[in-house]
């Protein structure tokens, strides 16, 4: 009886995929576009009429974001995938307890990946810069908030590791 429980536990651990379980196979990609009223469309069929826009996307899917508005030059941004630090940690968990099957599941599911850039920031440029009805897009406030959040995260990591 005790042997069966241990066998079941070992089998469950061997079939698990750490990154897939902890990070999931989808990621939210946030798109900020300025000025207001810009249309946001992706090469994978997702669209938004407002900014910010949150898109649920498979972690392994690369795509483009196109932002357009009448009176402005259309802009397209490529969103690629890259191995994320959290994905590396999940893969390391597979090496320790998940085994080869877990590594395979994480690789196929894309759970070790993050999208880049994320968030996507698009400041539209007017066709006619002299036209006061079409001001240049401005996301400086959003950029400052994102930079502050990144600094806070970096400081937290430094404090945790004893570097500050």
Tokens of 115: 């999208």
Which pLDDT belongs to residue 23?
Answer: 66
Which pLDDT belongs to residue 16?
Answer: 42
Which pLDDT belongs to residue 107?
Answer: 55
Answer whether 130's CB lies under 8 Å from 144's CB: no
**What CATH number does the domain located at 24-83+113-148 have?**
2.60.40
Average pLDDT for runs of 10 along the chain of length 164: 43 44 81 96 96 94 97 98 64 46 52 90 96 95 95 89 69
Q: How far is CA 148 from CA 41, 49, 54, 152, in A?
A: 28, 27, 20, 6
Which pLDDT belongs to residue 148?
Answer: 96
DSSP state string for 90-117: HHHHIIIIIHHHHHHHHHHHTTTEEEES
Tokens of 45: 């069929």
Which pLDDT belongs to residue 85?
Answer: 66
Which pLDDT belongs to residue 161?
Answer: 79
Measured N-to-C along each axis, helices 2-15 and 99-109 cross at an angle, to the nearest 10 degrees, of 30
Which pLDDT belongs to residue 95?
Answer: 46
């Amino acid at each position: 009886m005790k042997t069966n429980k241990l066998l079941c536990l070992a089998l469950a651990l061997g079939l698990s995929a750490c990154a897939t379980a902890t990070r999931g196979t989808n990621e939210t990609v946030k798109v900020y576009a300025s000025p207001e009223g810009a249309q946001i469309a992706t090469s994978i069929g997702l669209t938004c009429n407002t900014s910010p826009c949150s898109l649920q996307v498979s972690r392994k899917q690369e795509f483009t974001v196109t932002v357009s508005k009448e009176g402005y030059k259309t802009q397209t941004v490529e969103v690629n995938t890259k191995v994320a630090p959290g994905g590396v940690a999940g893969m390391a968990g597979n090496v320790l307890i998940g085994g080869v099957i877990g590594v395979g599941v994480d690789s196929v599911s894309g759970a070790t990946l993050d999208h880049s850039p994320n968030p996507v920031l698009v400041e539209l440029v007017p066709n006619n810069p002299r036209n006061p009805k079409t001001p240049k897009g401005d996301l400086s406030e959003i950029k400052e908030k994102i930079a502050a959040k990144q600094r806070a995260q970096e400081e937290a990591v430094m404090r945790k590791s004893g570097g500050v």
